[in-house]
Structure 1
Amino acid sequence: MYNYKIINGKYGDTSLYDIVPVKAKGSFLIDKNNKHYLDLRSGLWNVSLGYQQEIYTKIANEFNNLLKKQLPYLDNHSFKHPIYQETAEKILKFVGNDFNNIIYTNSGSENTELSLKLANYVNKKGIESKILAFNNSYHGTFFGAMSVSGIDQNLNQLFNPKYGNVTFIEYPTSIDNENRILEQINSISSDYDVMFIEPVLASAGVYATSTEFMNKLIKILHTNNVIVVFDEVATGFYRTGSRFYFNRLDHKPDLVCLSKSINNGITPFGCVCISNYLNSRLQKSTHNMEHFSTQNGNLLGIISASIVVQHYLQHEDKIKQNIHNIESVFRELLTNSGLQYRKQGAMLAIKVGKNQSQLLLKKLQELGILTYLYLNENEEGVSIFPPFNIEPTLLKRALKIIIKYI
C-alpha cells in the first residue's frame, strides 16, 4: 500500500508494470536486481532519444550552473531571461519558417487548453465555441483536452457538459473514406472555429491517412476560416520519419503543439508554435487574453529543451538513418507474418485478440521486453515506439519474440 495515488481507470496505486527501475542505459531500463528491460514503449512516453549519457551530462552541467546561482526558477509573466529568447529561436529554427512565435507550456494537455483559448480569442464565430476533431484522437486529459479527445469520450461522459460544442469526425481508413469525409467537412466547416488534428493516431493504434487527404483537409478548413491545430506531441521530432508530420504537407497548420520528445522527458515541458498568419491576428485582437501556469517559465525545463533540440539539429542525419533502420526491421519481420499491423516511421501497432493485450504485455515483461498497449472501439493490441538509438539487431530479436507470442 502506497500513500501516493494515481488515477488510471480507477483511483489507486496500481501501475502498469510491477517493476522499479533504478537506472537506465542506452535503450534499457534496469531494476535493483540488475535485470535489464528493453524499452520499446518510451518513444510514446517522452524518451525518443533513449537513455544517452552525452545528453544527460550536458543537461546536468547546465542545471548545476543555474543551481549554483540559486536561480532554478522564474515565471516568464514577471521576468525576462536570455534563455527564453535563445530557446525560442532554436525551436523555431527547427520547426520552420511558417512559424514565428511560441508560447511555453508544461505538457501536451496544457497545449490543447492554450490552443482552445487562442482559437476562441481570434476566431469564435458564435456564442458557443464550435470545434472539429477526429474520433479515436487523443489530445490529453485536462478539461478542454478531454473534450476534444475522441478516444476517451465514453470514459469522460461523467464530465458533461464539456468545453464547447465538439463534433467528432470519422478518421479515414481508406481512399473512399477520405473522399467522403472531405465532402462532409467541406459541407459543415464554415460553422466551426477550430479543428484539432492528430496527424497519426498514436494512442489509438497508429492510424495514418494519405498526405493528399491532409493537404485537402487543411485547404478546406482554411477556405472556411477554420483554425487548424496540429497535435504533434506524439508524432513530432522524427517519430514519423521527418522532423514533423506537417513538414511533408503543402498546406500548413496555424498552431502546432509540441511536448514529450522536445526535451526527451527530462522535465515537464511543452510549447505551442504560432504561425505567422495567426500571430498577426492575435496581435490585432482586442480581447483581454490570459493563459499561464506557475511553471511556464521554468528555467530547467527551457534549458533541457534547448539542449535536446540542439542535439536533434547536430545529429539529424544519424537520427533519420536510425529511423530508416527501425522501419526496415518492421517491414522485414512483419510483411509476411500473417499479423495485422500498422506502421509509420518508428511507430508500430500490432493487433491482438480480444482481451489479450494485457496478458501479452505481462508475458513480454517477464521476458525483459517493455511495450505499451492500445485500445480503440474496434480492436486492441500492442504499441511499439522504440528509442531512436536502439541497435537494429536487438530490435529484430525482440520483435521476433513479440511475433511468436502473438
Structure 2
Amino acid sequence: MPSDDNNTLITPWAAIDTSAFCFEVPHSDETILFESAAGVRLTDASGREYLDALSGVFVTCFGYGCEPIVEAVTRQVRRLAFNPPLHGTSRTAIELATELVDLAPASFRLAKLVNGGSESVEAAIRLARLYHRERGNPGKYKVLSYFHGYHGATFGSLTVTGRPDTSRFGPGIPGIVHVWNPHSLAQQLGVSLEEAGSLALALIEQTIEAEGPDSVAALFVEPVVHLLGMAVPPPGFLPGLRRLCDKYNIVLAFDEIVTGFGRTGQEFAAQTFRVVPDLICAGKGISGGYAPLAAVLISERIASVLETGDGAYAFAPSHTYAANPVAAAAGLAAVRLFRELDAPARATRLSTKLTALLEHALGDRGVLRSAGLLYGITLTAAEPVAAAKTSPGQALAQACLRRGLIIRGQDDWVVLAPAFVSTDEDLDEIAAIFRAALDEVLGGVR
C-alpha cells in the first residue's frame, strides 16, 4: 500500500491520459483511481487497499463481488439486455416491481422503476401533482421540502433540495417552498430537539396556511436528514407530519433513497418510524450497486389515478433506460438476497456492536446518532487541533482516508454506513481507524 511517512495518498495518474478526463468529481492529485474490489474493500491502481465504511455511498450493501447478483446480471445480459420501452417491458422488471411493493408498507400497490434517486424524486413530484389534477384540484401544485435537505442533482430535484449552494444555477422549477426541520431549528434557537419538533410542525402548518392549502400538493422529506449528519427526527414529529398532510389533503412523500432497503434496521424508515407515507422514493442499495436503479413506490390511494387512460398515459413517459432488464435483474437478485440474509435483522445486530465501538472511540468529542447501520456524528470541538484548511468533518474524513478507511465528512459532521455483509472484525477495524483519526484531528479523548 504505497504511501509516504505521513500516510499521504499516492495515485498513479502519470500513466493515465487526463486530457479528456471524466468529470464526475473535480480531478486533483488526491483523486483515487480505483481498480478492483472484493467484499467490503477496494484497491486502487497503486495497490493500496481501502475499507469501505460508507457502502460506496449507501449503495453497496452486499459488498463488492457479490456472486448471486453478478450471476443474475450476467444471465440477463445474455438473454435480454434491452427491450423497446415504447412497446413493452420485461418479465424481470415486473417481478422486481412486485417484490419491491411487498417490502413496502401494506397500503402500497405499484412501483415505477427509474435510473437513479434524482429521477425518482422528479417522478414523484409529477405524480403528486397529477394525483390532485385527476382528483379535480389542479391548483394544488406546490411542493414543500426542508431547508438543508437533499433530494438530488437534476434540476427539479435540485430545486426541492433546500441548500444555499444550489442557487448558483439560477432559479429552479416553480412551486417549491422550503420549511424548517427540527434539527435546524434546535441549532438556531438553542432549544431541545423535542421542543424544536413541536415548533417545526407549527411552522409547517403556518406555511401551508400562508401559501393556501388549496395550492399545496405535496410534502417531501427525508425521514433521516443526510446532510445534517444523519439527523434522526424527534419522537412524534413524523406522525405529526402525517396528520398535517391528512388534514390538508397533501401527498406525503418520503425520500428513502438513503434510508430505505434495510439501512435503518427495517425494510424502510417508514416501518422504522411507524409512519406510512403516500409515496416512497427508493434507490441506492436497491440494486446493491450493480446497476443504476431506483424506484417510486406508490400507495393504493395515489395509484388510483393511474387506473384510467388519461392518468396512466400522463405518467408513463420515462427515460430510455428506465425499467431496463439488466438493472431490473440486479435489483431482483438484490431483493431476494435481502430476504435470504434477513438484511434488517443483520443490520440491527451489526449496529448494536458498532454503536458501542463508535461511542467508546468518540468519547466526548462528538454526538453520535444512528438508525440501524446509518450513522451520523456531529463533532463538538469548534476547531481541529491539527492545522487544516477544511472543516472539522472534512479533516476527519481525510484523516480516515489516509489510514485506508472510507467515510464521508462535511461541515461539523461525518457519516458512516457499513455494508450488511461486514464482519465483526471489519467493525473492530473501522472503530480503531476512526479513533486514530479522531486523535489526530481533534486530540485525545478529554
Q: TM-score, normalised by structure 2?
A: 0.81
- 1:343 is displaced (CA, Å) by 2.0
1:5-404 aligned at under 5 Å gives the runs 5-6=22-23, 8=25, 12-14=26-28, 18-42=31-55, 44-66=57-79, 71-123=80-132, 125=137, 129-150=141-162, 153-173=163-183, 174-189=193-208, 190=213, 191-284=215-308, 286=310, 289-290=314-315, 291-316=317-342, 319-334=344-359, 337-341=363-367, 342-352=369-379, 353=382, 355-375=391-411, 380-404=412-436
Equivalent residue letter for 2:145:
A
Q: Unpaired segments of 5 or more residues in structure 1?
A: none
> How many residues are treated as equivalent by the alignment?
391
Classify 1:398/1:111 alpha carbon distance in 2 versus 1 (closer, same or farther; 3 Å).
same
Q: Unpaired segments of 5 or more residues in structure 2?
A: 1-17, 184-192, 384-390, 439-446
For the pair shown, which has the larger CA radius of gyration, 1 or 2? 2
- 1:326 is displaced (CA, Å) by 2.8
Q: Partner of 2:57: helix, strand, or coil?
A: coil
Alpha carbons 2:293, 2:327 under 8 Å: kept: yes
C-alpha separation in 1, matches of 2:396 and 2:197: 33
- 1:404 is displaced (CA, Å) by 3.2
Q: Partner of 2:109: helix, strand, or coil?
A: strand
C-alpha separation in 2, matches of 1:255 and 1:235: 14
- 1:285 is displaced (CA, Å) by 8.1
Alpha carbons 2:50, 2:405 under 8 Å: kept: yes
Q: Partner of 2:236: helix, strand, or coil?
A: helix
C-alpha separation in 2, matches of 1:52 and 1:211: 39
Segments ≥4 residues shifted beyond 6 Å: none
- 1:200 is displaced (CA, Å) by 0.3
Alpha carbons 1:48, 1:386 under 8 Å: kept: yes
Q: Partner of 2:261: helix, strand, or coil?
A: coil
C-alpha separation in 1, matches of 2:264 and 2:90: 34
**Greater relative CO (CA pairs within 8 A, separation 6+):** 1
C-alpha separation in 2, matches of 1:260 and 1:183: 32
C-alpha separation in 2, matches of 1:262 and 1:337: 34
Q: Tell me the percent identity.
A: 21
Q: CA RMSD in A?
A: 2.4
Q: Partner of 1:293: helix, strand, or coil?
A: coil
- 1:224 is displaced (CA, Å) by 0.6
Alpha carbons 2:62, 2:419 under 8 Å: kept: yes
Classify 1:14/1:33 alpha carbon distance in 2 versus 1 (closer, same or farther; 3 Å).
closer
Q: Partner of 2:418: helix, strand, or coil?
A: coil
C-alpha separation in 2, matches of 1:75 and 1:359: 48
Equivalent residue letter for 1:30:
T
- 1:360 is displaced (CA, Å) by 2.9
Equivalent residue letter for 2:36:
K
Which residue number corresponds to residue 4 of structure 1? 21
C-alpha separation in 2, matches of 1:64 and 1:326: 36
C-alpha separation in 1, matches of 2:52 and 2:324: 29
- 1:299 is displaced (CA, Å) by 0.8
Q: Partner of 1:243: helix, strand, or coil?
A: coil
- 1:304 is displaced (CA, Å) by 0.7
Q: Partner of 1:193: helix, strand, or coil?
A: strand
